[in-house]
Amino acid sequence: MKKRGTGMACFFYGTGYGNGFPDVSTATVEIHDDGTATIHTGAVDCGQGSNTVLAQIAAAELGVPYTWVTVISADTDTTPDAGTTAATRQTYASGNAVQMACRQARETLFEYTRTLLGVNTVAGLVAREGVIYVKSYPAKQIPYPDAATRARLAGYRLVGQGSFVTHTTAVDRETGQGAPYWPYAFGTQIAEVEVDTETGQVQVLKLVAAHDVGRAVNRQGVEGQIAGGIGQGVGMALLEKVHLQEGRIVNNSFSTYLIPTTMDMPEVEPLIVESYEPTGPFGAKGVGEPATIPTVPAVINAIHNAVGVRITELPVTPEKILAGLKEKKV
């Protein structure tokens, strides 16, 4: 007999290194004569899409099309240190660094351009889609490439550097008080599973995942992160286990260490909650590890809801389900 159940899990998770540990990210930018820009950052894009996000942040801050931005990343010979790609921090930490660097370079360009357009301060200018114009009189404008070329010929160096340090404090050992992380991610996942009471097999049918990501800089990327995190969570819940024998891993290949395939993936319904984080780049936070955290408890709770068996050791194998059902009958 197959029985269905639903389970929910909620979480909060601090991004960055935390607990007062220095968490610093640095980036540089140069605006070229043709209006394009090159970003240098040590942030490693290992598939999560940070290069894309950093290019989007730079384009928005500079006021140029996304295609005008080139990101050079993770080159220890040419890029400044941006910290590790870990702790769900690169969008937040390196995103802030890139935004700061771009703002500095843009302000230098604006300082020259304001004299061309006849405004008193750089605050009177706006840049959008490769055009710089007067905020109160948009018809008065100059193309970005023209302004950049003329500024350079006038002796202006259109470069910027930004270093962002996350603001955390170590927890007091006596009182337990402090602000060990900032910002925090929040979310809830609801799992629907189907449990075969004859074989003990569990199939995760659907996961609804609501995640507070601050502002979603790249919505498709956020949805991909959520789906990928859930895939890892399903693997942790039902399949993955390292087997050791005399201190050596004996299932050290994909033929013996089981991970989810596309056939094991449930339907994923991502619900992106945009709360706007005031300390983040354009309000963004992160969604890397948070996408995985609530999946396992949501699945475990759904299994309990379906067959009344509470599993306390991972992964949830058919043998454990059958043993739980047998003990329940006894």
Active site residues: 289
Sequential DSSP letters for 155-183:
T---EEEEEEE----PPPTTT--S---SS
d(CA 213, CA 175): 30
Q: 3-state class of 92 per DSSP?
A: helix
Whether omega before 315 lies within 30 degrees of 0, making that bond cis, reads: yes
Residues 316-323: contacts with CB under 8 Å, at least 24 apart: 316/202, 316/237, 316/238, 317/200, 317/238, 318/199, 318/200, 318/201, 318/202, 319/200, 320/200, 321/195, 321/200, 321/201, 321/202, 322/199, 322/200
Q: Are 170 and 20 in contact (CB under 8 A)?
A: yes
Element (H, E) at 95: helix 90-117
Residues linked to residue 37 through DSSP beta bridges, in sequence order: 31, 69
Query: CA distances (Å), 317 to each of 1, 194, 196, 202, 296, in order?
Result: 17, 14, 12, 8, 13
d(CA 267, CA 259): 17
